[in-house]
Amino acid sequence: MEASKRDRLSASLYAALKLGDGFIMILDHDNDEIRPYSKQLMDAESGISYEEPSPNAFSFNSPYGACPVCDGLGVVTKVDPELVIPDDSKTINQGGIVPFGEVRDNFTFKQLRTIAKRYGFTFATPIRDLPPEALHTILNGGDDTFDIRLPYSKHDYTFNLPKEGLYTMLDRWYKDTSSERIRQWAETFMQVTTCDECGGQRLRKESLHFKLGGKNIAELAAMDLQQLSDYFTSIDAKLDKKQKIIGKDILKEIRLRLRFLLHVGLDYLSLDRPAKSLSGGESQRTRLANQIGSQLTGITYILDEPSIGLHQRDNHRLIDSLRELTNIGNTVVVVEHDKDIMLASDYLIDLGPGAGEQGGALVAEGVPGEFIKSGSLTSDYLSNRVLIPLPSKRSKGNGKFISLTGASGHNLKNVTVKIPLGTFTCVTGVSGSGKSSLINETLYPILRKHFYRSRQVPLPYGTIEGLENVDKVIEIDQSPIGRTPRSNPATYTDVFTDIRKLFTDVPEAKIRGYKPGRFSFNVKGGRCETCQGAGMKVVEMNFLPDVLVDCETCMGKRYNRETLEILYKGKSISEVLEMSVREATEFFKNIPKIYRKLKTILEVGLGYITLGQQATTLSGGEAQRVKLAEELAKKDTGSTLYILDEPTTGLHFDDIRQLLIVLNKLVEKGNTVVIIEHNMDVIKVADYIIDIGPEGGRRGGSIVATGTPEEIAKDKNSLTGQYLEKELALYPTNGSARKNSSRKKKT
């Protein structure tokens, strides 16, 4: 084509595109065919168009990218038919359709009678025998042929049943009602389910149509980090020359960040994993990977127990990552109880010798080689001069089991497992292998539903047998015992109720007519009204965090002058709350009811905390042990199943020894203790081990080995067994520690 004709054609096309707002239609004179063309992201024939892509279009936190149905959550709350009609053999009179209740004189039942009359059934007809059309009308609505005249009502829960249906109305009451009570009631008939619009991928469909190497962004985010790393390592083969040039720097950064995440032992996680589902250790290691990736120098990093949730195999990856930070010129300070990390450090500082008032002193310091010669309690455990003793005989249980088959939630691969009752059972495996999925999200919800009619839905499973061998289940986790400063160990364990009654019996209190409520800092009368019994006042600092200061009236004592005048053995109620558990145990040794509860708190290693210590200041491990003490103080039946998830978090070697003594007391009474744990000091003393793996994520979810610690140690397929074998080698064949198994703390 001549240059002049080409220029003329280009100018015409430009003008046509301008007039057509980027859209033109061209007539092919050879066959009289009209072909549409568009400069926009649009199918010129169907008219389907897309907006110009931007980063927001691929974010479920942005309205530009979020699924419009679930608002980027990936899940929606919908009515669950099984909660509405749990038993279809019942009649309407018997409450077979639960939301209707049993009241017969309300407007809802007038509508039901109208429907019953048309379809020819009565309220004494079982739900399963109702005509399908009638049940569909009641539940789903869609029939506006009924002459329903709604009564005037100022409330927003009047409804036309045959037109709107019960499901629609429950959904409306949950989402739109102004009454919190009605909304909570409607919620009892609903379940959280995957969004049908986006299939749980959280993004709008237009965003999911953009693909890289044949996968959209949601599919990439669903991969575990090891898979994602492999994908981006081989992505170049799927890109053309132009794409490689465009993506060179971006791909380099992605690969680098993935490498950091893999180095801290998070290869089993996926990018779409909700942040709330991450453990404290996983969150901390994610932030650590981010800091390593920043490549900053001259920074001091402070980490609090980064080994939480890590298997021994992964500890070395974490140590390498921490070493990488120091190699580029940073300082890393780690608060840690893990033996491997301590011995891998450059310098150790040991505080003690005890806890609480008995601590706070520098006991020993130095490089690891010198430190283990210091003779401190920590050094004795690091050097294996002191070892936690193995049981002289491992319990075989009472011969009964809980058998779970077909567990297939998350990464579990149709797992079948038998838990021997009357034993101390440890569930082990590398991080992400499926331990929590099996115990916390499958077994525990099943037991809760069986014993307490819980609405928590367990992960998919086949069958469960042996529930009749257990009378209750108790999960002792590390969640706070209270979320306000008013909660404390004394109130949580209910020992404060007994203490208040004791103060009420003091002669002076009887003369004044004081009741137990007088000694409660949550009740008017005895408390300081200036701070309302909090003992502190909040000073708002505008853009800075709020500051707590002692109340100027009671000076932090929580009570008014009259209440503090009542003394028991020379101590006021405020002074009792300021006592440590160790002091209080001695103080109340002649009051059996109080002494028994305090002694259990002392036995779990919490003698240093005060009775009135704010719950918000307790660590996760301390909160868990307070809960454990509360359970120990109760009279048990000997058929209870206790579930604990990594109870050694935040515990020193000697604290672990004390904890094991307490847990074994539960087993000696005939109870069953199931612990998810990575700590070898716990695993080696277990009666029975269930090892899950062999790896984390998609490469886990199978039972690798079961049996006693000695049997697991011999299994070459078990990663846990490899480390357990080294641990058991420290002990002679008779099962006792090679050297002294315990010693008193230095004072």
Which H helix or E strand runs over 521?
none
> What does the alpha-carbon distance between residue 153 and residue 107 come to, in Å, rounded to a whole number?
11
Is the model more confident about 279 or about 202? Answer: 202
- Residue (of 294, 372, 324, 370) closest to 332 by Cα position: 324
DSSP state of 459: P
Of 97, 652, 683, residue with least CA distance to 376: 652
Which pLDDT score, from 0 to 100, does residue 46 have? 67
End-to-end CA distance of the chain, in Å? 100
545-558, pLDDT tens digit by residue? 778 888 999 999 99
Provide the mean pLDDT of the chain.
87
Q: What is the pLDDT of residues 67-116, one digit of tens each?
A: 999 999 999 999 999 889 988 898 888 888 988 876 566 777 888 888 88
Q: What is the mean pLDDT of residues 708-712?
A: 95
Write the pLDDT tens digit of every residue in 10-53: 888 888 888 888 888 888 888 888 888 877 776 666 666 677 78
The predicted structure's pLDDT at residue 229: 94
Is the CB of residue 77 less than 8 Å from the CB of residue 108?
Answer: no
pLDDT score of 334: 94
Q: How many residues does the chain have?
A: 747
**How much is the pLDDT for 511?**
94
| pLDDT, tens only, 650-703 | 888 998 998 898 889 889 989 999 999 999 999 999 999 999 999 888 889 999
Is the pLDDT score of 735 beyond 50? no
**Cβ atoms of 700 and 706 closer than 8 Å:** no
Instruction: Give the model's pLDDT for residue 359.
Output: 87
Secondary structure (3-state) at 7? helix
CA–CA distance, 549 with 540 (Å, rounded to integer): 11
Burial 685-705 (b: 16+ CB within 10 A, else e): bbbbbbbbbbbbbbbbbbbbb
pLDDT of residue 736: 43
**59, burial (CB in 10 Å: exposed 0-12, middle 13-18, buried 19+):** middle
pLDDT over 90 at 317, yes or no: no
Sort strands 672-676 and 424-428 into parallel, antiparallel or unpaired: parallel
SS3 372: coil
pLDDT value of residue 243 = 87
Range list of β-strands (E), 388-423? 401-407, 415-420
Task: Dump pLDDT digits (tens) for 165-188.
Answer: 899 989 888 888 777 888 888 888
Residue 747 has a pLDDT of 33
The three-state secondary structure class of 248 is: helix
Selection from 300, 367, 366, 309 nearest residue 334 by Cα: 300
Q: Is the pLDDT of residue 151 over 70?
A: no
Residue 542: is it exposed, middle or buried by C-beta count within 10 angstroms (0-12/13-18/19+)?
Answer: exposed
